[in-house]
Amino acid sequence: MKKTLLLVALFTICFAGIGFASNPPIIPLPQSHSMAKGSFKIKDQLTIYFDDSFANDAYYLQKQIFDIKGITASFGSDKNSADIILEQKSQKNKQEGAYTLAISESKISISSENDLGIFNGIASLLQLITIAESEIDCWTIEDYPLHGWRGFMLDESRHFFGKEKVKQILDYMAFYKLNRFHWHLTDDPGWRIEIKKYPHLAYTGGIGNMTYPNDPPQYYTQEEVKEIVRYAAERKIEVIPEIDMPGHARAANRAYPEYSGGGSKSHPEFTFDPANEDTYQYLTDILKEINVLFPSEMIHLGGDEVHFGNEQWKHNDKIKELMEKEGMKDLAEVEKYFMVRMADSLYAMNNTFLAWDEMAEISLPTDKTIMFWWRHDRKDQLQKALEKNYPVILCPRIPFYIDFVQDEDHTTGRRWGKEYSPLELVYEFNTKNLVDSKYDSQVLGLQANLWAETIQTKQRVDYLTFPRISAFAEAAWGQNNDYDDYLNRLESHLPIYRNDNVFFFNPFDHSENPEPKK
Ligand code: ACM
């Protein structure tokens, strides 16, 4: 009897919250957490104290608390009486972005060594505030990311979605602690960024999209690009533009055909001309403007799938002459020659050269080059990049091309044979299953890519992105060990999507938002 009473008492203490807790409803799940008794009541008046270097974070927090709860927090200079404290403090974990979030009944403290960590702590707190009715449990969270690069790519060439959609994606990236926005701005259907020196890239190259090739031009002006870059920076997100070359260049070639290297029957006007000296100056001038617009000092130059459309290179006398002069034996070498020259242009601007995994063939300085492994059926190409000491981003089609369908029953969207990218597969991705630990330091991180061939509407952007963006974020953060627990936490995020009119795929009830067919 005594024993039973003792057990009941112990049980009661546990459920009262001493030393026992399930996981906090945070995605990605923090690396370590514990819950104490009690809760912090969210009052109508909150005071925020911040150490000097965290002023921008404090403004962000203030604005978000107002947007989420309508509460007008003010700043206070007395640390002792503040409700929320942002302070600089050494962290046990030295990974960039490490932070501690400690919530007691009387105050909330976020500490980190730098503003990236403070921002991550704010992101965790904002999730708790968003989900809470009026009080937050007393969590102590010590957290840090596994991967420094947690990226999301959006293709706006195939179809154009516009700056409000981009800002919403950036909002959710920040919400889920993603920190690199890769913007695929040029490809065959449309050129989507204003270049002052070559205005027809936007006026003419921007005409049409994959569905309606004659639609009026759609592109971002340089002022709009600056606005997006600023918006992202407020959320600690770096924006990395992609200007694809030497293939995927049809839109550019419509505007300035004098730099076209032709194409093939299935991919007309697909390439820039590698044998025209002026092509290099033209593209370098474009990249100089891009460099001014994007403070990330990284530009992705594509380099993918050139063989789709370089048929005409075989019949071009100037290219034959160039091959002879440079001792190049095939068109693959011409491609490399072109990319090395363009990489040199980027290096001269003090930029890092980013490219798809086809470019792992080239030998370039590994401290200024990053390879994106995308061909999941070509693990050899990842291995080659690693063996050549390149830093890599992992974005294999399966499971990280999130324009692939996410459910067996879905009909619109891509598949790779029978393979596709269900939520669970995105969630479970583990670098350790793919890369030998001796290369750990070369794996900068992970990226989810949203290509837009099969996306005509913003609704479909949502449907493909949500909720997979959250599963991806957990994989990139490195706490993706329990899918059922993730699903539990995800359930508490669905009302956030509903409230925000996000047209998400509901994995618990497929009928909530039916698959948009375009
Ligand atoms: C790619 O999907 N062509 C990088």
Ligand 1 touching residue 453 (CB < 6 A):
no
Q: Which atom of ligand 1 is nearest to the CA of 248?
A: 3
How large is the average pLDDT for residues 156-162?
A: 98
What spacing in Å lies between the alpha carbon of 147 and ligand 1's midpoint?
Answer: 22
How many percent of the chain have pLDDT more than 70? 96
In ligand 1, which atom is closest to the CA atom of 372?
A: 4
Pocket test for ligand 1, best of 244, 305, 392 (most atoms within 8 A of CB): 305
- For the chain, what percent of residues have pLDDT higher than 90? 95
CB 372 less than 6 A from any atom of ligand 1: no
Cα of 92 to ligand 1 centre, how many Å? 39
Confidence of residue 151 (pLDDT cuts 50, 70, 90): very high
Q: How confident is the model at residue 371 (pLDDT cuts 50, 70, 90)?
A: very high
How close is the Cα of 498 to the center of ligand 1, in Å? 32
Atom of ligand 1 nearest to the CA of 451: 2
CA separation for the pair 478, 29 (Å, rounded): 9
Q: What is the pLDDT of residues 10-56, one digit of tens each?
A: 444 444 434 444 899 999 999 999 999 999 999 999 999 999 999 99
pLDDT of residue 19: 40
pTM: 0.95
When pLDDT is averaged across residues 441-464 and rounded to a whole number, the result is 97
Which tens digits make up the pLDDT trace of 89-122?
Answer: 999 999 999 999 999 999 999 999 999 999 999 9
Instruction: Give 290 Cα–ligand 1 centroid separation in angstroms.
Output: 21
Q: Is 214 left (phi over 0), alpha (psi -120 to 50) or beta?
A: alpha
Closest of 405, 359, 403, 404 to residue 378, by C-alpha: 359
Ligand 1 within 6 A of CB of 234: no
Are 400 and 472 in contact, with CB atoms under 8 Å apart?
yes
Read off the pLDDT of residues 292-339 as tens digits, 9 standing for 90 and up. Answer: 999 999 999 999 999 999 999 999 999 999 999 999 999 999 999 999
pLDDT attached to residue 458: 97
Task: Kindly report, residue by residue over 193-221, the tens digit of the pLDDT.
Answer: 999 999 999 999 999 999 999 999 999 99
Nearest protein Cα to ligand 1, atom 1: 304
497-508 pLDDT, tens per residue?
999 999 999 999
Find the 14 Cα to ligand 1 centroid distance in Å.
51
The per-residue pLDDT for 22 is 87
Q: How confident is the model at residue 290 (pLDDT cuts 50, 70, 90)?
A: very high
On the question of pLDDT at 404 being above 90, the answer is yes
Q: What is the pLDDT of residue 518?
A: 80
Check: CB of residue 430 under 8 Å from CB of residue 396. no
What is the structure's pLDDT at 8? 44
Q: How far is the CA of 124 from the centre of ligand 1 (A)?
A: 33
**Residue 420, both tokens:** 């596709």
Is it the case that residue 1 has pLDDT exceeding 70?
no
* Closest ligand 1 atom to Cα of 449: 2
How much is the pLDDT for 430? 96
Residue nearest to atom 2 of ligand 1 (CA): 374
d(CA 462, CA 507): 14
* Ligand 1 pocket, residue 156 CB under 6 Å: no
- pLDDT, one tens digit per residue, over 60-69 is 999 999 999 9
Residue with tokens 């592109």: 219
Q: Which domains can be identified in the chain, with CATH numbers?
A: 19-143 (3.30.379.10), 149-201+236-259+277-499 (3.20.20.80)
Strands 369-373 and 352-356 turn out to be parallel
- Residue 374 Cβ contacting ligand 1 at under 6 Å: yes
Q: Whose CA is nearest to atom 3 of ligand 1?
A: 304
The mean pLDDT of 152-174, rounded to a whole number, is 98
Single out the residue of 270, 244, 241, 243 nearest to residue 257, CA to CA. 270
134, burial (CB in 10 Å: exposed 0-12, middle 13-18, buried 19+): exposed
The DSSP secondary structure of 238-262, one letter per residue, reads EEEEEEEESSS-HHHHHH-GGGEEE
Closest ligand 1 atom to 304 CA: 3
Ligand 1 geometric centre to CA of 20 (Å): 46
Residues 61-85 have a mean pLDDT of 96
The mean per-residue pLDDT over the stretch 260-276 comes to: 96
Question: Which of 186, 301, 307, 356 to probe ligand 1 with, by most ligand atoms within 8 A of CB?
Answer: 356
Name the more confident of 488 and 15: 488
Q: How far is the CA of 173 from the centre of ligand 1 (A)?
A: 22
Is residue 159 predicted with pLDDT exceeding 80? yes
Q: How confident is the model at residue 495 (pLDDT cuts 50, 70, 90)?
A: very high
Predicted confidence at residue 321, as pLDDT, reads 96
Gap from CA of 4 to ligand 1 centroid (Å): 63
Average pLDDT (248-270) is 97
- The closest of 191, 160, 181, 190 to 230, measured between CA atoms, is 181
305 lines ligand 1 (CB under 6 A): yes
20 or 424: which leads in pLDDT:
424
Nearest-angstrom CA–CA distance, 152 and 347: 24
Q: How many CB atoms lie within 10 A of CB 325?
A: 9
Mean pLDDT of 372-400: 98
Q: What is the pLDDT of residue 297?
A: 97
SS3 call for 413: coil
* DSSP element (H, E) containing 387: helix 379-387
